[in-house]
Amino acid sequence: MSARPAVQALPAYRPGRNPADLARELGVDRAVKLASNEVPFPPLPAVVQALSATAGETYRYPDNGATVLTAALAERYGVAPEQVVPGCGAVMLCQQLAQSFNDPGTGLVFAWRSFEMYPLLAQVAGARPVPVPLAPSRPGGAPDTHDLDALAVAVDDTTRLVFVCNPNNPTGTAVRRAELERFLDRVPETALVVLDEAYREFVTDPGVPDGLELMRGRPNVAVLRTFSKAWGLAGLRVGYLVAEDPAVADAVRRTHVPFSVSSLAQAAAVAALASEDEVRRRVAAVVAERDRLTAALRGRGLEVPDSQANFVWLPLGEPTAEVAAALEARGVITRPFAGEGIRVTVGTPEEDDLFLTALGDVRTGAPVA
């Protein structure tokens, strides 16, 4: 038996490497992982308590609709429960969106480089991927931000889905309110625009809009968010979609894998929402460290765009793979995009200092210790 040609052609998704494996390989006590955009904090105390309290129920199937979480999110954002769809991470919801709205041959438009799953989702759905190159955020700089005018031009009468990753992964840049509103006004009602806001909690630029505000009154706009980043639930896999049009949410709900949000994930997400003050403190610490790391890299003469996420982007071009491999040889795992750049998650100050030291050694050609 052979799989569909589109599936056979899919490249494998590359998760961040396990630091314990690298440490054993190098024969060192510890390696640092700055590759997967996780927050450098242990689970929230309320989350640990919720998991402990729910563990005794795991012999039962979970609530298929994640009803408690749906209600909590609806109340939080002032929408009806019918507009909310929890899922097994935001990436699963991306797949459900493609399955729900893209017939074979229809267009799926996205910026590139952006979240690496977008073109893969198009392939799986049999859709036509339409990547639109990023533009420089500063004169003479490397491409690093959405070109919304070009993105709007790429939308045609075959387009069914448009992803706008804001802030953008892996560059960390974000588009601002006026230009995003103009873009949304240009997109025809036959195309669904999904504002992928996985890193929304880390945004500090007041000019970067909350997608949920722009969604109001636009039935062809939906917003994706996740508990994997700021809320610290990456290992439990829970994200959510909020759609202005309940019919959009209903379509996505119809393509979900039954019971894909586990009892533990729902309980943890609800507990996390109730711990927002602590989450805000943690986010503030990440943002402060992001600013310190950015300043340190710029102080070394490196180009670093303004990041609104919990990572920074180094547009290194051709040396990217070589630099990333040299950093790994020094026990620091980053996320390279060959020929383009390296994405570096904001870690603890100690982890970031280890990265800065390793990067300095790589740039000066110092031997591996």
Q: What is the pLDDT of residues 194-218, one digit of tens each?
A: 999 999 999 999 999 999 999 999 9
Percent of the chain with pLDDT over 70: 99
Q: What is the pLDDT of residue 17?
A: 82
Residue-wise pLDDT for 324-338, tens only, equals: 999 999 999 999 999
Q: What is the pLDDT of residue 16?
A: 74
Domain boundaries, the chain: 5-43+277-362, 56-273
Residue-wise pLDDT for 282-317, tens only, equals: 999 999 999 999 999 999 999 999 999 999 999 999
Please, how many CA atoms are within 13 Å of residue 174, restricted to the half-sphere of its CB?
29
Quick one: pLDDT band at residue 278, thresholds 50, 70, 90? very high
What is the assigned CATH class of domain 5-43+277-362?
Answer: alpha beta
Residue 34 and residue 351 in contact, taking contact as beta carbons nearer than 8 Å:
yes
Q: What is the pLDDT of residue 295?
A: 98
| Order of strands, sheet of 84-87, starting from the edge strand that comes earlier in the sequence | 84-87, 239-243, 221-226, 192-196, 159-165, 107-112, 128-133
* Paired residues of 164 in beta bridges: 195
Quick one: pLDDT band at residue 238, thresholds 50, 70, 90? very high
Strands (E), the chain: 32-33, 84-87, 107-112, 128-133, 135-136, 143-145, 159-165, 192-196, 221-226, 239-243, 311-314, 332-333, 335-337, 341-345
The reply to whether the predicted model has a pTM over 0.75 is: yes
CA angle 107/14/314 to nearest 5° reads: 85
Separation between Cα atoms, residue 224 and residue 188, nearest integer Å: 20
Residue 251 and residue 83 in contact, taking contact as beta carbons nearer than 8 Å:
no
110 has pLDDT over 80:
yes
Residue-wise pLDDT for 7-66, tens only, equals: 777 777 777 788 888 888 889 989 999 999 999 999 999 999 999 999 999 999 999 999
* Paired residues of 110 in beta bridges: 131, 163
Place of tokens 């899919």: 10
6 has pLDDT over 80:
no
What is the assigned CATH class of domain 56-273?
Answer: alpha beta
Quick one: pLDDT band at residue 179, thresholds 50, 70, 90? very high
